[in-house]
Amino acid sequence: MSCHRVHLRKPPCSPPGPSSLSSFFVHTHGQLKLSVIPEDGLLNVCVLEARDVAGASDLPCDSYVKVGLVPDSGPGNRLKTNMVHSCKNPIFLQTFSFVVSDNELQKRLLVTMWDSDLHTRTSQLLGCMSFGVRSIMAQDKEVKGWYFLLSEGLGRSKHLEVPPHHHRYHHKVSCTGEYHPQGCYSVPSMRAA
């Protein structure tokens, strides 16, 4: 877990004062790179990669990402990436599509990242973020880039984009699967016949 100072600009309607910025500290649990594209009543969510992700013991995780529309989308209705084993910088490169009707415009797109314990068959929430579906579909907000994995309480109602100067790695990854030298890819498990 990391602690970051977040700077917020005061809204234009706030009273004049000596500073137009306010700041606070937030604990984060790594970062996730996403691209969310609205298209003809669909919401296309591309989960690209994550970085600096560690479980409770600060060891590499067996991680996966779940994506869904909330509320009313139970855990069974959320879509899940393949798991990437034992990696702090996993690469997922998976795209999911959601049909968005008028009823879904009031919902939020919830993105959660999990660490799976294969021995106990349980998963621990590493962090999450969410985006208002109406604002994404109206295309007044671009969702593309790195976002902090926030605690559940904060992430279920907010998202926080990583500032450009905060990036430690400058490798590009797209939904087509470009090379990333520091990441780990999900590999389909093979069973012996």
- C-alpha 126/C-alpha 43 separation (Å) is 24
pLDDT in tens, 65-107: 999 999 976 667 799 999 999 999 999 999 999 999 998 999 9
pLDDT in tens, 96-134: 999 999 989 999 999 999 999 888 889 999 999 999 999
Q: Is residue 165 classed as helix, strand or coil in its secondary structure?
A: helix
Tell me the C-alpha to C-alpha distance, in Å, between residue 93 and each of 52, 87, 123: 17, 15, 21
Q: What is the largest CA-CA distance in the chain?
A: 72
- C-alpha 74/C-alpha 121 separation (Å) is 20
Q: What is the mean pLDDT of the chain?
A: 78
Q: Residues 6 or more apart from 37 whose CB is under 8 A from it? A: 43, 44, 46
Q: Using 50, 70 and 90 to split pLDDT, how confident is the model at 60?
A: confident
Answer for the pair 45, 98: CB distance below 8 angstroms, yes or no: yes
Among 156, 107, 109, smallest CA distance to 128 is for: 156
Is 24 or 160 the better-scoring residue by pLDDT? 160
- Cβ atoms < 10 Å from Cβ of 176: 6
In this predicted structure, the answer to whether residue 189 has a pLDDT above a threshold of 80 is no
